[in-house]
Amino acid sequence: MQYISTRGNTAPMAFSDVLLMGLAPDGGLMLPQSYPTIDESTLDAWRKLDYTELAYEIMSLYATDIPAEDLRNIINKTYTKQAFGSDEIIPVTKLYDNISLLELSNGPTLAFKDVAMQFLGNAFEYVLKQKGERLTIIGATSGDTGSAAEYALRGKDNIEVFMMSPNGKMSAFQRAQMYSLDDANIHNIAVDGMFDDCQDIVKSLQEDAEFKAKYSLGTVNSINWGRILAQIVYYFKGYFAATTDNSQKISFCVPSGNFGNICAGHIAREMGLPIDRLIVATNENDVLNEFFNTGKYTPRKSNETYVTSSPSMDISKASNFERFVFLLLDKNSEQVAQLFGDVRVGKGFDLSDKLATVTSQFGFAAGKSTHQDRINTIKQVYEQTGRLIDPHTADGVKVAMDLQHEGEQILVAETALPAKFEDTIIEAVGDITLPRPEHTIGLEDKPQRVVVVDNDAKAVAALIEQYVTAR
Ligand SMILES: *Cc1c(COP(=O)(O)O)cnc(C)c1O
């Protein structure tokens, strides 16, 4: 399988080359030339597989330049009971009659990003060793990506990690998770700005071809194709767990920010998984909600981005969205380049003439949740089911309940565990002691390592230079 860029000006590449890339050289996002489709009998066969076997079947369709045995090893090393807490890896748990949770958050950092990142850490180490190369990972995080990346890459050979986060905008637990790591290859940078500023710094360093080549810059942000690939697997897993045969259709509702998670669901649906609707749930930062209801995409500036109680969704420019728009526009890369060129200079675009296709052909729907909705939903679910859900998952449950059709079965992606967002949970249900996985007890008391810098790509570049040269 060959990979191409959404902007059409990058020569086709193999999986292991794409794996180490951030943005394509032409500024676009890499994706397969076409998505493979799965027939009925394959779907029947996959239903019987356990998580690692299923992951192998799906990933081997895409990672065609990695020998079968090696790919199996990477997958088996990644998806273990030890790392994810159960042999199921991604359990499905019933909340109400027709609403269940797709439990994505039982990995090392208690958020769904571990599912992809743990795979990426092992895949990176493998590919770098094969190629005899080193890599400098730069990333931007509003919380969960950064910790998931750092836990996946800590101590890995030939990899240096620089992770930017918005100074003071993450929860105490998230800060402690990241800043308490003492591995020599992990560097935390707190930027005086918002998440989107961090993301812009990453983009601008990536676009500096000389700097990029000199330090072998790579990224683990959600634009990375390897992450999307690893996420496709759990849509299949969730579907099989929630149905008894392949004539049934279910919907997924996904708390969204960068459109990474639900992009994988969209691809699973394109591959032929019987998904009815893909419901995008946003918080007050509702750029995607607006697009999927009006066809107008209007990214906001960082000073127009709200700080909310579901902070990992405080995103106003959905970096993976371009992968979907590429398909929506029948792979017209010139038009994609033009639209996202406009986005780059602060404009939006209007695809309202395509809205019917977005809904009917691609199955998308969207809804929005606010702080009060989130609080009410956490409280309601706790009182009715005894289960605590985190604020992001609450946005998903709220939107699922709002939009649910009669008889529609919806899996809501549980994108983090409540232990990460103690303040909001306590606001919702009163002063209780939150359950915490053993390995996170006492985390906030550990010493922290972080460098604070101005919102300035040059200052970050200087830091990278200094550290990489010193190693
Ligand atoms: C990253 C994240 C999201 C948003 O996922 P996207 O792939 O960016 O849409 C939602 N919830 C949590 C807890 C997250 O960490």
Encode pLDDT of 21-46 as tens digits.
878 989 999 999 999 999 999 999 99
Between these two residues, 471 and 13, which has the higher pLDDT value? 13
Name the residue of 29, 103, 144, 287 to mutate for ligand 1: max ligand atoms within 8 A of Cβ. Answer: 144
Residue closest via CA to ligand 1's atom 1 equals: 312
Return the pLDDT at 415. 97
Whether the per-residue pLDDT at 144 is higher than 80: the answer is no
Q: Reduced to 3 DSSP states, what percent helix, strand and coil does the chain have, rounded to the nearest 5? A: 50, 15, 35
Query: If 0-12 CB within 10 Å is exposed, 13-18 middle and 19+ buried, where does residue 132 land?
Result: exposed
The highest-confidence range among 12-26, 75-89, 143-157, by mean pLDDT, is: 75-89
Q: How far is the CA of 149 from the centre of ligand 1 (A)?
A: 13
- For residue 105, which atom of ligand 1 is closest to its CA? 13
- From ligand 1's centre to the CA of 25, what distance in Å? 26
For the ranges 215-229, 260-274, 327-341, the lowest mean pLDDT is seen at 215-229
Separation of CA 181 and ligand 1 centre (Å): 22
- pLDDT of 176 reads 93
Q: Whose CA is nearest to atom 8 of ligand 1?
A: 258
Per-residue pLDDT tens digits for 400-451: 999 999 999 999 999 999 998 889 999 999 999 888 888 888 999 999 999 9
Mean pLDDT value across residues 171-192: 93
Which positions ≥6 away from 319 have C-beta within 8 Å?
Answer: 29, 199, 221, 222, 223, 258, 259, 260
What DSSP character marks residue 110?
S
Common-topology check for domains 3-113+224-424 and 134-215+443-467: yes
Segments making up each domain of the chain, as ranges: 3-113+224-424, 134-215+443-467
Question: Which residue CA neighbors atom 7 of ligand 1 most closely?
Answer: 260
Q: Does 3-113+224-424 carry CATH code 3.40.50.970?
A: no
What pLDDT was estimated at residue 165? 93
User: Is the pTM higher than 0.85?
Assistant: yes
Given 3.30.565.10, 3.40.50.1100, 1.10.10.10, 1.10.150.80, which CATH number is that of 134-215+443-467?
Answer: 3.40.50.1100
Residue 318 CA to ligand 1 center (angstroms) comes to 11
Residue nearest atom 2 of ligand 1, based on CA coordinates: 312
CA distance 374 to 170: 18
Range from 64-73, 163-172, 357-366 carrying the lowest mean pLDDT = 163-172
Tell me the pLDDT tens digit for each residue of 308-367: 999 889 888 898 999 999 999 999 999 999 999 999 899 999 999 999 999 999 999 999
> Residues 370-393: what's their mean pLDDT?
98
